[in-house]
A and B are shown apart, each in its own frame.
Chain A
Amino acid sequence: QQQVKQSPQSLIVQKGGISIINCAYENTAFDYFPWYQQFPGKGPALLIAIRPDVSEKKEGRFTISFNKSAKQFSLHIMDSQPGDSATYFCAASYYGGSQGNLIFGKGTKLSVKP
């Protein structure tokens, strides 16, 4: 009930291409779905997040697509750049409450080739 499954484990994309990372969750009570970006040697940092009242959220080249019925959400990186090379983590939780902590996926290592 508490798992967040993330795929793929690693991804190689050419510069200018679209990177797509997928996550699936089990607990239908989750209402907050953030994505974190981590560069080598650094701590993760929030990239973009979505609540289930919308099906899509876009910030620059980064878009979250959310499918409530399928219990899935994905991160799309348009026009991928070498600077996007990092590890990406999806997560899920009950937002703003004391009912549970963020549950993280296992991460996707993205490499964008020039």
Chain B
Amino acid sequence: IAGITQAPTSQILAAGRRMTLRCTQDMRHNAMYWYRQDLGLGLRLIHYSNTAGTTGKGEVPDGYSVSRANTDDFPLTLASAVPSQTSVYFCASSEYQSSEQFFGPGTRLTVL
């Protein structure tokens, strides 16, 4: 089934630990995105990639890094997790930067 997969589904993490959230799409979309969703704040863009090999910063990039080595994968890394990074993280992809975005099922991350 075509779409976006994210792993893990959920994770509890100790503060200070490193964590990588995985995202894979099989639609051959050029653009990919990472959002965090917090109650009352909606979807906030962390990082994006318009095409393989390029990345850009979104609204809330601090404490996060991404890479886009190929078209399909777009991992998000928290180098040293902090409790304020407790959130639900969604990966998304689209054919072009501002066309319809398709979202993954999300990763619920808790940092203690």
- Is B100 a contact of A49 with CB atoms below 8 Å? yes
Minimum Cβ distance to chain B for residue A8 (Å): 13
Complex interface: chain A residues within 8 A of B40 (CB): 9, 106
The answer to whether A43 touches B97 (Cβ under 8 A) is: no
CB of B42 within 8 A of CB of A96, answer no
> Which A residues are CB-close (under 8 A) to B33?
101
Residues in B with CB closer than 8 Å to A102 are 98, 101
Q: How many residues of B contact A (CB 8 A)?
A: 23
List CB contacts (< 8 Å) of B17-49 with chain A. Answer: 33, 40-43, 45, 48
Counting chain A CB atoms within 10 Å of each CB, the highest count among B43, B96, B98 belongs to B98
CB-CB under 8 A from A99, the residues of chain B are 97-98
Q: Does B50 contact A (CB under 8 A)?
A: yes
Q: How many residues of A contact B (CB 8 A)?
A: 26
Q: C-beta contact mask, B78-110 vs A, less than 8 Å → 1, else 0?
A: 000000000000101000111111111110000
Quick check: which of A53-61, A64-72, A73-81, A87-95 contacts chain B, the rest being far away? A87-95
Chain A 94-114 per-residue mask, 1 if CB under 8 angstroms from chain B, else 0 = 111111111011110000000
- Chain A residue with the shortest CB-CB distance to B31: A101
Shortest B44–chain A CB gap in Å is 8
In the bound complex, residues from chain B placing their C-beta under 8 Å from that of A41 are 106
Beyond known contacts A43-B103, A97-B96, A107-B43: 15 more, CB 8 A cutoff: A6-B42, A32-B98, A43-B4, A43-B90, A44-B90, A49-B100, A89-B43, A96-B96, A96-B98, A96-B99, A97-B98, A98-B97, A99-B98, A101-B58, A105-B42
Seen from chain A, the residues whose Cβ lies within 8 Å of a Cβ on chain B are 6, 9, 32, 34, 41-46, 49, 89, 93-102, 104-107
